[in-house]
């Protein structure tokens, strides 16, 4: 596969943290659970259709690196809350990195333009096939949008675990919740948390 190195890196990193957390919880078959995770994650990525120009690759990488673990943990008898807590530990380093990056960007007066450009690239470029987006406002002071269909939610629902989508909603809080100096992030609803749509706004602080 074209993206084997990236898949291998995420698989190795997440499996290592999964094993560490399971051992901390004194689960005796931690290694076999991790092996099952590695195999399932690899299988899902090999079977995924990344679309034209592989525009869905990064989304599926994000989805399946977590969903594969969540499925196995639920199958092992863990509750929704327990399984999500394990996943939160697995991805905590990447969440911190995302938060640090956006906090750094927010030091600059032009942070709103930078954040808006990045978001519009996701919402209106080739990656737009991952969601159906309605731009409510897009000007020099505010970017506001609604997402009515989301690849993350749809994939989790097909696998029988729509509730897992909320962890990806939480990713945004870690990444954008640190914006306070020149840009502000507001969230009104998400599909993953039972809303009719995902409704977000990014506001320039003058």
Is 90 exceeded by the pLDDT of residue 88? yes
Q: Give the strand order in the sheet containing 131-138.
A: 131-138, 142-150, 198-204, 183-189
Residue 114 sits in the same domain as residue 199: yes
Residue 100 sits in the same domain as residue 23: no
Q: What is the pTM of this model?
A: 0.93
Residue 58 sits in the same domain as residue 123: no
Residue 98 in contact with residue 33, Cβ under 8 Å? Answer: no
Residue 85 sits in the same domain as residue 101: no
Overall average pLDDT of the 69-87 stretch: 97
Residue 103 sits in the same domain as residue 199: yes
Model confidence band, residue 1 (pLDDT cutoffs 50, 70, 90): low
Q: How far apart are CA 165 and CA 150, in angstroms?
A: 10
Q: How many percent of the chain have pLDDT more than 70?
A: 99
Residue 75 sits in the same domain as residue 100: no
Q: How far apart are CA 54 and CA 3, in angstroms?
A: 10
Residue 21 sits in the same domain as residue 61: yes
Residue 82 sits in the same domain as residue 107: no
Which residues neighbour 50 within 8 Å (Cβ) at sequence distance 6 or greater?
A: 56, 57, 60
Residue 100 sits in the same domain as residue 199: yes
Of 71, 90, 109, at which residue does a domain stop? 90
Residue 130 sits in the same domain as residue 184: yes
Residue 14 sits in the same domain as residue 67: yes
Overall average pLDDT of the 85-114 stretch: 95
Q: How far apart are CA 127 and CA 9, in angstroms?
A: 22
C-alpha count within 13 angstroms, C-beta hemisphere, residue 143? 19
Overall average pLDDT of the 189-198 stretch: 95
Of 90, 118, 134, at which residue does a domain stop? 90
Residue 31: what pLDDT?
95
Q: How many domains does the chain have?
A: 2
Residue 40: what pLDDT?
98
For residue 198, the enclosing domain spans 96-204
110-132 tens-digit pLDDT: 999 999 999 998 898 877 889 99
Of 74, 90, 106, at which residue does a domain stop? 90
Residue 119 sits in the same domain as residue 200: yes
The mean pLDDT value of the chain amounts to 94
């Amino acid at each position: 596969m074209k993206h084997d190195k990236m898949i291998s890196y995420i698989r190795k990193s997440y499996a290592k943290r999964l094993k560490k957390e399971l051992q901390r919880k004194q689960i005796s078959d931690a290694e076999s659970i991790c092996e099952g995770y590695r195999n399932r994650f690899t299988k899902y990525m090999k079977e995924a259709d990344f679309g034209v120009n592989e525009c869905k690759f990064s989304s599926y990488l994000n989805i399946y690196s977590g969903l594969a673990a969540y499925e196995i943990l639920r199958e092992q008898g863990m509750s929704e809350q327990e399984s999500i807590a394990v996943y939160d530990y697995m991805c905590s380093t990447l969440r911190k990195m995302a938060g640090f990056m956006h906090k750094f960007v927010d030091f600059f007066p032009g942070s709103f333009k930078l954040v808006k450009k990045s978001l519009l690239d996701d919402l209106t470029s080739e990656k737009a096939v991952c969601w159906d987006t309605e731009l409510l406002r897009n000007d020099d002071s505010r970017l506001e949008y609604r997402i009515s269909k989301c690849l993350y939610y749809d994939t989790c629902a097909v696998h029988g675990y729509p509730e897992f989508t909320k962890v990806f909603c939480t990713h945004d809080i870690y990444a954008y919740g640190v914006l306070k100096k020149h840009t502000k992030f507001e969230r009104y609803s998400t599909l993953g948390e039972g809303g009719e749509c995902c409704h977000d706004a990014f506001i320039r602080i003058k």
